[in-house]
Structure 1
């Protein structure tokens, strides 16, 4: 397992990419996360939000459209 982390947006919300068994889960893609996420995933399977605050869900829609993956 490998975990990547990067603070996103004005609130510096941590966005995580968890890589396990050749697949990735994106956690809390905040403001401006799309470019970083897309450049660091090869086989994304889902987006996971820890809760619904705007700074944790900001890039959900953009990533779902770009990667065609479910949101949990």
Structure 2
């Protein structure tokens, strides 16, 4: 499973238009898009990434989740 530490994710987020998926509120996904998956602490998003990757989606788990954002 691909992962990214929150600090690197946040730097990318500030510079680029990223598709961010909240694992707590999964919606229909574009299977041609790279998805950065985030949740509160990173556990739920890791499970969602594993499932989505098995379904053929290109996903990256954001380690630390929104808790890491709150600690910036």
TM range (shorter): 0.3 to 0.5
Structure whose CA Rg is larger: 2
The TM-score with structure 2 as length reference comes to: 0.35
Structure number with higher strand proportion:
1
State the structure with bigger RCO (CA 8 A, min sep 6), 1 or 2. 2
The TM-score with structure 1 as length reference comes to: 0.35
